[in-house]
Amino acid sequence: MRVSVAGAAILLSAASAAYPADYPYSGFYVANFDRVSFDRAQLLCAYSFFTQEKDGSFVDYHLDLAGFMAHQSVKYLEYSRGQCVVDPDRNIETCTTAFDSDPSQQGKTFIDVFRPVGPLVIEVRFFDDMAQARAFVRDGTVADDNPAKEFDRCTRFDSAAMADYLSAERSTLPPDERMKLTSPQLDAATMAIMTRVLEAIRTGKKE
């Protein structure tokens, strides 16, 4: 489950111990790092999201926006994938990218501490190393410039509904253009496009 935002791939991190059963959460999620309202976060799902699987693997996707604007058809391109493990006693995740369309992010490992906030929201804080993550779990030690972020479930998406829209084709967008999809400005024009994308999915319009 990762998303590249502000130059950092957003990956669920894990600790030294692998989770023995299903991953603590799975499904379709969007990185809501500005913590906009949940309803607005659902609009963000139209542009990008990640799938977190029960085995800890993740894939990041973004909309083929050029294709949608030209043909009003929906296709999501893969831009990152990898594997996460979690220490279930501390809720520390470690995620490593096996592929990223941004070469500077390929092979990187990311660490976060996560906390479910109800069934639809995962609160996360990212850390530079495992020692910082463990200090936060132990006594709440955290830098002032490391606010909580969140991953929100894309409630309209599931594997069956999205199967026809997820492409094996990989993104070729440069990082700055990709950022416009993974961390978009929610102005009126952008939200109108997002609404149209979600409506196309709801009505079954494909590529």
In tens, the pLDDT along 125-146 reads 999 999 999 999 999 999 999 9
4: pLDDT strictly greater than 50: no
Question: DSSP labels for 148-206?
Answer: -EEEEE-TT--HHHHTTTEEEEEP---HHHHHHHHS----HHHHHHHHHHHHHHHHT--
In tens, the pLDDT along 67-77 reads 999 999 999 99
Identify whether the C-beta of residue 79 lies closer than 8 Å to the C-beta of residue 178. Answer: yes
- Ramachandran region, residue 107 (left: φ > 0; alpha: ψ -120 to 50; beta: rest): left
21 or 52, greater pLDDT: 52
State the Cα–Cα distance between residues 191 and 186, nearest whole angstrom: 6
Could you give the number of structural domains in the chain? 1
Predicted local distance difference test score (pLDDT) of residue 204: 85
Q: Largest Cα–Cα distance of the chain, in whole Å? A: 53
In tens, the pLDDT along 36-53 reads 999 999 999 999 999 999
Amino acid at 44: L
Share of the chain above pLDDT 70, in %: 88
Amino acid at 45: C
15: pLDDT strictly greater than 70: no
| Residue-number span of the structural domain to which 20 is assigned | 2-203
Confidence of residue 207 (pLDDT cuts 50, 70, 90): low
Q: What are phi and psi of 193, to 5 degrees?
A: -65, -45
In tens, the pLDDT along 109-120 reads 999 999 999 999
2: pLDDT strictly greater than 60: no
Entry pTM: 0.89
Question: DSSP labels for 103-120?
Answer: GGGTT-EEEEEEEE-SSS
12: pLDDT strictly greater than 50: no
Mean pLDDT across 11-30? 65
State the Cα–Cα distance between residues 61 and 63, nearest whole angstrom: 7
Residue 143: which CATH number?
2.40.128.490
The mean of the pLDDT values for the chain is 89
State the Cα–Cα distance between residues 54 and 24, nearest whole angstrom: 8
Interior/surface letters 167-188, b for 16+ CB within 10 angstroms, e for the rest = eeeebebebeebbebbbbeeee
Predicted local distance difference test score (pLDDT) of residue 124: 96
Confidence of residue 97 (pLDDT cuts 50, 70, 90): very high
